């Protein structure tokens, strides 16, 4: 607990992100459990964690485990991306870095452009895919929890909509009849892979937290 000087490990967790919106959203979801949620910005000396896993679950666990070890707190992390069936689940874990080139970082626009080029001659009915999100929670005692959420859809022929980010303009939800970028925030949050993963995590959270507290008692 090297950096944990002003928090109590039994009432505080760290979310492995610097995104204040994610931290605020997760804080609201964990309100019934009486937990305070901190982010990476609360731990200035926490090193950046490289996503070297081959799966979403591996990356989420890697980030959560390292954050927990460094802070001495229960840590929660997620990894997510887009899988396109006909491309062999590509871009997958490389979704955010799909258009990356040596010395040139990937951008949302570049990722979408590369994906559409890869599917240029693929008919509409063969463009099936899904957004996937894996969330992991790890405790300093080694106790961990994994939860996943999927959002089925297809890759549109062209971008549409100005809401959202990443692949949202080309991710078409067939039930809703529009892309993720054409949905209102409330609609997207009700259907998204991340929302489903968070819901699955929270269903199992009480039992996980009890095991963590029991582990604390054993190491006193």
Give domain limits for the chain.
Answer: 12-218
Task: Please confirm, yes or no, whether 121 is among the known catalytic residues.
Answer: no
Q: Of these residues, 42, 78, 79, 173, which one is catalytic?
A: 79
| pLDDT number for residue 3 | 40
| pLDDT number for residue 209 | 87
What is the domain class of 12-218 according to CATH? alpha beta
Q: Phi and psi dihedrals of 136, rounded to 5?
A: -130, 140
Asked if 193 and 133 count as a contact pair (C-beta separation under 8 A), the reply is yes
- Its pTM stands at 0.84
Asked if 135 and 65 count as a contact pair (C-beta separation under 8 A), the reply is no
| pLDDT number for residue 190 | 85
Q: Which of 137, 119, 136, 135 is nearest to 127 (CA)?
A: 119
pLDDT along the chain (220 residues), means of 10: 43 86 78 85 81 90 92 92 97 94 94 97 95 94 93 96 91 96 88 90 89 69
| pLDDT number for residue 7 | 43
Distance CA 203, CA 217 (A): 24
| pLDDT number for residue 45 | 78
| pLDDT number for residue 10 | 64
Q: Identify the helix (H) or strand (E) that includes residue 186.
A: helix 185-191
């Amino acid at each position: 607990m090297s950096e944990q000087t002003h928090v109590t490990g039994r009432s505080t967790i760290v979310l492995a992100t610097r995104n204040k919106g994610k931290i605020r959203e997760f804080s609201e979801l964990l309100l019934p459990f009486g937990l305070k949620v901190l982010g990476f910005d609360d731990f200035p000396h926490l090193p950046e964690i490289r996503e070297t896993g081959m799966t979403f679950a591996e990356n989420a666990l890697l980030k959560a485990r390292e954050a927990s070890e460094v802070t001495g707190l229960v840590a929660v992390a997620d990894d997510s991306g887009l899988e396109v069936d006909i491309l062999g689940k590509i871009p997958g874990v490389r979704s955010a870095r799909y258009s990356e080139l040596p010395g040139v970082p990937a951008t949302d626009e570049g990722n979408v452009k590369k994906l559409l080029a890869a599917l240029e001659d693929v008919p509409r009915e063969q463009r099936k895919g899904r957004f996937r999100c894996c969330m992991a929670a790890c405790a300093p005692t080694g106790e961990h929890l994994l939860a996943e959420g999927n959002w089925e859809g297809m890759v549109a022929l062209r971008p549409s909509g100005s809401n959202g980010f990443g692949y949202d303009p080309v991710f078409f939800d067939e039930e809703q009849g529009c892309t993720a970028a054409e949905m209102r925030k409330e609609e997207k949050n009700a259907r998204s892979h991340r929302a489903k993963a968070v819901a699955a995590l929270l269903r199992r959270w009480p039992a996980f937290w009890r095991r963590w507290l029991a582990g604390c008692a054993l190491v006193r």
